[in-house]
Amino acid sequence: MNRIVDHPILGPLSEAEVVHIIVDGVPFTARKGEMIASALIANGKSTFRKTVKRNEPRGIYCGIGRCTDCVMTVNGIPNVRTCVTAVEEGMVIETQMGSGEWQ
């Protein structure tokens, strides 16, 4: 886990309700209210999609919803910006291949 549990300025990590998500078929736990990208990084996943032509990996770049490098297929909807979309209980998230497909 890559959670920052203790922090000299921000203090200890607060308690948060656990949210269950499925990422590429694997169950992950997340903190209620956090962004999908944050939950994936906490669980050690850094490749969010593969590019259209050369199948190259991409992860987060700007983290504030501007660059669209972190888009994934979420609950069957492609091109969801995971850095500005919060996790929800039971969410199904998939590494997006190319420009993705509606499911």
Binding site residues, other proteins, CB under 8 A? 2-4, 7-10, 13, 33-35, 37-38, 41-42, 46-48, 56-67, 83-84, 86
Q: Which helix (H) or strand (E) holds 46?
A: none
Q: Give the start-end residues of each E strand in 45-90.
A: 49-50, 57-58, 71-74, 77-81
The distance of closest approach from Cβ of residue 40 to other proteins in the complex, given in angstroms and rounded to an integer, is 9
Smallest distance from other proteins to CB 25, Å: 19
**Shortest Å, Cβ 61 to other proteins:** 5
